[in-house]
Structure 1
Amino acid sequence: MTSPETAGGGAGSDTVRTLLRMRATAGREHEFENAWRKAAEVISTVPGNIRQDLMRDPDLPREYVIVADWESRAALDAFGRSPRRDHLTTALRDLRDDADRHTYQILQTLAGREPAVRVLVTTTVPAGEEAVFEQAFLDVAAAMRGVPGHLREELLHEPGTPTYHLLAEWTSKAAFLDWVQDPRHTDRTRELLPYLNRGFSRRVFTIAARPP
């Protein structure tokens, strides 16, 4: 579990969050959601913007809350003063009946524990190369030791076929995706790349239950 000090906002953090409540014009809810999505895609490229969410009240489908996190109040204010902001939010103003906004400083964030996942990679190995492939797997598995979030690896073979399955367990999907984007990923898995470059499939599964 992530500690408050290392999560998205710690004590004394400059990060701020805005909550913008809007009531969409009756019958134009779908237009409102599309307009928000288009504006949010552009706002996500603005320096200082961290994330945005659009939420809707399930009991009052016209009631929306737009949540945005910014690195600092200064970054938020800079965007608020920019001509870009008025241009991006014009469509939303035309699709709402009323709105109010509040800005808060994020003092503490405590992330919940994500469920563990299994990653299944399936590939085929040409006849006669099985031993080389299996050794490459063992070498890569050894190089994976110590990677944050990585728990274990297994190599499965379908008897009588050229099909192999690489089964890995990770503490969370986020940990796995962080590793995929890590520049060291290619270096540590280099020995398997010739087999994967020929074609492979990858699926990610959440572990729903595990006996004690």
Structure 2
Amino acid sequence: MAFRVLLRMELVPGREAEFERAWLAGADVITGQPANLGQWLSRSEDEQGVYYIVSDWTDEARFREYELSDQHLEHRKKLHPYRVAGSMTTMTVLHSLAGAAR
């Protein structure tokens, strides 16, 4: 199964649209990684200025390899001006079930 990374980002008020454009402009840095299975950007409906980024990886070791790379540091620098606070949670996907609408 996949290794999943969940980022929670609190943004500088009023910079949400800029952040979304910057995220989209740099998204291929992540999705272009050989071990990346995909990523998603979501905006909280409950908390103003809070976004979640989910990315799935083939395994933890390959994610950690990317996390320590110069590419990752450069990518983070581009998003950092929009961020006030954030956190990262990692997990292993145990089961994946497709819904009826799929």
Same structural fold, with TM-score higher than 0.5 when normalized by the shorter chain? yes
Identity %: 35
Q: Which runs of 5+ in 2 are unaligned?
A: none
Q: State the alpha-carbon separation in 2 of the partners of residues 73 and 59 from structure 1.
A: 30
- What amino acid is aligned across from residue 41 of structure 2 in structure 1? L
| Structure with the greater alpha carbon radius of gyration | 1
Q: CA deviation at 1:60?
A: 2.3
Equivalent position of 1:184 in the other structure:
none
Kept in 2: contact 1:19–1:67 (CA 8 A): yes
Structural mapping, 1:189-204, within 5 Å:
none
Structure of greater relative contact order (alpha carbons < 8 Å, 6+ residues apart) = 2
Aligned to 2:8, what secondary structure does the other structure show?
strand
Structure 1: 4+ residue segments shifted above 4 A: none
Q: Among 58, 73, 77, which residue is 1:86 paired with?
A: 73
Aligned to 1:94, what secondary structure does the other structure show?
helix
TM-score normalized by the length of structure 1:
0.46
2:4 aligned with 1:17, yes or no?
Answer: yes
Aligned to 1:22, what secondary structure does the other structure show?
strand
Kept in 2: contact 1:16–1:105 (CA 8 A): yes
Q: CA deviation at 1:47?
A: 1.1
Kept in 2: contact 1:16–1:71 (CA 8 A): yes
Kept in 2: contact 1:25–1:62 (CA 8 A): yes
Q: State the alpha-carbon separation in 2 of the partners of residues 74 and 38 from structure 1.
A: 26
Kept in 2: contact 1:39–1:89 (CA 8 A): no
- What amino acid is aligned across from residue 31 of structure 1 in structure 2? E
Q: Among 71, 82, 86, which residue is 1:95 paired with?
A: 82
Equivalent position of 2:28 in the other structure:
41
TM-score normalized by the length of structure 2:
0.93
Q: CA deviation at 1:40?
A: 1.3
Q: State the alpha-carbon separation in 1 of the partners of residues 4 and 46 from structure 2.
A: 24
Q: CA deviation at 1:41?
A: 2.0
Aligned residues: 102
Q: CA deviation at 1:89?
A: 1.5
Q: CA deviation at 1:114?
A: 3.2
CA RMSD in angstroms, aligned pairs only: 1.2
Kept in 1: contact 2:9–2:52 (CA 8 A): yes
Q: Deviations over 1:13-72 (max 9, x none)?
A: 3x2101100001011011111111122122111110001001111232301110000010
